[in-house]
A and B are shown apart, each in its own frame.
Chain A
């Protein structure tokens, strides 16, 4: 509905006193309705039931309570519209019913008390002056020096939004320099997805797994536009690795080093490990698995470069010192690895309003003597997520695969059977010491807070049988709180695994290593 139409409809609403007055002489209840129509809104935007009820009005006796109820239903279905009922006499003695519908914004234009003040200045913040188009400048000129024209301000806001698609536009009206004058400020803030480089995600969570117990991760982000510092803490986290760890770390990241294409990442962390009995029992059986450790201190400097806003490459090293499990010993081993990663992400927001997101990352880590590592290994991991969302529905498909060669430390080994993978299985039963081969896929359907999923995957050691496991289940996830029940499928044992917790700022893809 264009502005002129909106104003016309509002004028109709404002004329309501005369309509109310007219109702004194208008057809009384019981008069046969000759016609009923909706003005100001396309009928196709109403539900079939409401359309049918309005359509059936013609020929029935006039009942104003029923008409008011229909108007209320119309407002329920279209919360950004208000509806009034107009009843007039038909020349044939019947009654004509019109539902006069107006968009709320149109009503706002006439109801904002600040519309009586003179706009002394209009300011557009957050974009360079040369990026402002002549049309935008014309709107700024038209707004300035007159009483506040909310419709025009709305139009400029829409123009800015369509002109700067990578920005979020916020309009504020503030006092001017003298009483009776105001200033209109459009603040443009660049959206995160338009950045060349993104900050590395770090999930905050607190969760309970019925087989694995409680654990929590808490990052405390102090963030600027291009720089962030994240102290983070972990308590009994056993969800993502075969080890259970507690400790703390500090992450410092800049995504603009001279140019938005270049960023640096640095992380230091120190985690104490707790090993489950099945893990300790399984390690001696596999001579290729290095000994467990008591503490893992890691330093990870990385450089990131954006080839395009969608494609990023990163490289650096991870220096990890693993203290001996024997507390009386001061022995430690180094697991120092070179890291290379490439990430691609794409979002589509077509006019059909379906939302498509694709995110993929491939990482290689190589522990090498060249970095004075005691453990030599290579590890690769590929992960990809695709999701499509429409209205309140969302369908996600995730997959990942990985492999290890050499003597990879336990924190590099793969595991499945936690709150994200093979939900319904317990990782300490599948592969208590992890595996050096892994693949996993997950299909998840979400409608509002309801989640249904089907997981499949396998984790195994090279040269041994790879048993593919399946699990399925459902969950409830209103906001950051989630509750899932998973059932292992291809097993004779019937069991259910519950996971409940709180999850904020989820990792974009798959398992995240710390």
Chain B
């Protein structure tokens, strides 16, 4: 007897496939703009959690973005680019502003968090020339990393007792020193269009 799939199974599979496609759409895409390799990664978010709280307290936050081109997954970077940004949150406009630190300094304001993240990422490119044979003859991987610095130490000292929510968060994040939030993703393989 041949068992037909149930409608519920079909719906579930369809939803699963849609989710997979959607996740794929969220993944890293690489493009060549003029003589530089540019990356888009909508799922690579860094305006969240404590840095976001800090921004909404009217303070500025520094974000370092590091883009590396790798010959293979987990391999040593063949080319690398880094940019530092200072983010702030306009308390009255309720939008984000970004300043690219270093030469040439550039600023942009009135952005949503997604827009601010995307703008930062656009500024981090790797010259095609630095890739050598990668991209033309051989595929390459991308590693994207952010580091957020300048957090305040947690209030209350070392002696919080018991299982408070804050203690749990602090403990699980091993947060005792002023924190550095960091995250990295790797994606590939990619090839550059001629």
Residues of A at the B interface (CB closer than 8 Å) are 13-14, 16-17, 19-20, 72, 75, 79-80, 82, 84, 104-105, 107-108, 110-114, 117, 150, 168, 170-175, 179-180, 182, 184, 189, 191-194, 198-202, 204, 218-221, 223, 228, 230, 478-480, 504-505
Q: Do A16 and B104 contact each other (CB < 8 Å), given the known contacts A79-B180, A173-B57?
A: yes
Cα(A150)–Cα(B153), bound, Å:
19
Say yes or no: A20-B104 contact (C-beta < 8 A), given A79-B147, A182-B58: yes
Measured between beta carbons, the chain B residues less than 8 angstroms from A192 are 156-160
A32 to B57, CA, bound (A): 49
- How far does the Cβ of A81 sit from chain B's closest Cβ, in whole Å? 10
CB-based contact B62/A19 at 8 Å: no
Complex: how many Å from CA A326 to CA B147?
A: 62
Contacts A75-B64, A182-B91, A218-B163: A171 and B57 contacting too (C-beta < 8 A)?
A: yes
Judging by beta carbons under 8 Å apart, are A19 and B103 in contact? Answer: yes
Apart from A75-B82, A79-B147, A182-B91, 13 more pairs, CB < 8 Å: A20-B104, A104-B62, A104-B150, A107-B86, A107-B101, A111-B107, A112-B60, A114-B88, A114-B89, A117-B91, A173-B58, A219-B162, A221-B167
In the bound complex, residues from chain B placing their C-beta under 8 Å from that of A199 are: 161-162
- Tell whether, in the assembled complex, residue B161 and residue A171 are in contact, meaning their CB atoms are under 8 Å apart: no
Complex Cα distance A110/B60, Å? Answer: 10
Contact B59 A219 (CB under 8 A): no
Q: Are B59 and A505 in contact (CB under 8 A)?
A: no
> When chains A and B are docked, how far (Å) is the Cα of A20 from the Cα of B158?
48
Q: Whole-angstrom distance from the CB of A306 to the nearest CB of chain B?
A: 15
Measured CB to CB, the nearest residue on chain A to B164 is A221
Tell me which residues across on chain B come within 8 A of A478, comparing CB atoms. Answer: 174
Chain B contributes a number of interface residues (CB within 8 A of A) equal to 46
A66–chain B nearest beta-carbon distance, Å: 13
- Chain B's closest residue to A232 (CB) is B162
Contacts of B167 in A (CB 8 A): 221, 504-505
Q: List 9 A-B contacts (CB under 8 A).
A: A16-B102, A79-B147, A104-B84, A173-B58, A191-B157, A192-B158, A218-B163, A480-B172, A504-B168
The answer on a CB contact under 8 Å between B103 and A504 is no
Q: A107-B62, A175-B91 are in contact. Are A505 and B172 (CB under 8 A)?
A: no
Please give, as numbers and ranges, the residues of chain A lying within 8 Å of B107 by CB-CB distance: 111
A202 touches B162 (CB 8 A): yes
- Complex: how many Å from CA A180 to CA B174? 39
B172 touches A202 (CB 8 A): no
Chain A residue at minimum C-beta to C-beta distance from B80:
A72
Interface string of B128-157 (1 = CB under 8 A from A): 000000000000000000010110110111
Contact B174 A479 (CB under 8 A): yes
B161 adjacent to A84 (CB under 8 Å): no
A54 to B144, CA, bound (A): 28
B109 at the binding interface (Cβ < 8 Å)? yes
The answer to whether B105 has its CB under 8 Å from any CB of chain A is yes
Cα A160 to Cα B78 with chains together (Å) = 48
* Cβ-defined contact, A114 with B163, below 8 A: no
Among B62, B88, B103, B168, point to the contact of A20 (Cβ < 8 A).
B103
B97 at the interface (CB under 8 A from A): yes
Does the CB pair B168–A114 fall under 8 Å? no
Interface pair B156/A82, CB less than 8 Å apart: no
Compute how far the CA of A203 lies from the CA of B158 in the bound complex, rounded to whole angstroms.
Answer: 14
Given contact pairs A80-B149, A84-B103, A221 touches B163 in the complex (Cβ within 8 A): yes
Tell whether, in the assembled complex, residue B163 and residue A505 are in contact, meaning their CB atoms are under 8 Å apart.
yes
Q: Which residues of B are found within 8 Å of A223, using beta-carbon distances?
A: 162, 164
Most buried by A among B57, B91, B153: B91
Complex alpha-carbon distance, A103 and B142, angstroms: 29
A112's partner among B59, B92, B150, B159 (CB-CB below 8 A) is B59
Cβ contacts under 8 Å, A184 to chain B: 58
Q: Are B88 and A191 in contact (CB under 8 A)?
A: no
* Residue B173 interfacial (CB < 8 Å): yes
Q: Does B172 contact A479, Cβ atoms closer than 8 Å?
A: yes
B92 partner residues in chain A, CB cutoff 8 A: 117, 175, 179-180, 182
B186 within 8 A of A: no
* Docked-complex contact B58 and A193, CB < 8 angstroms: no
Q: Is the CB of A13 within 8 A of B102?
A: yes
Contacts of A82 in B (CB 8 A): 84, 101-102
- The one of B57, B62, B105, B150 that contacts A14, using a Cβ cutoff of 8 Å: B105
Closest to B110 in A: A113
Inter-chain CA distance A187–B180, complex, in Å, is: 23
Q: For the complex, give the distance between the alpha carbons of A108 and B58 in Å.
A: 12
Chain A contacts for B180, CB-based, 8 A: 79
Q: How far apart are the CA atoms of A182 and B180 in the complex, in Å?
A: 28
B155 CB to closest chain A CB (Å) equals 4
* Chain A residues in 8 Å Cβ range of B171: 479-480, 504-505
Residue B99 lies at the interface, judged by CB distance under 8 Å to chain A: yes
Residues of A within 8 A of B149 (CB): 79-80, 104
Instruction: State A510–B103 Cα separation when bound (angstroms).
Output: 56
A113 CA / B99 CA spacing, docked (Å): 9
Contacts of A189 in B (CB 8 A): 155-156
Q: Is the CB of A221 within 8 A of B57?
A: no
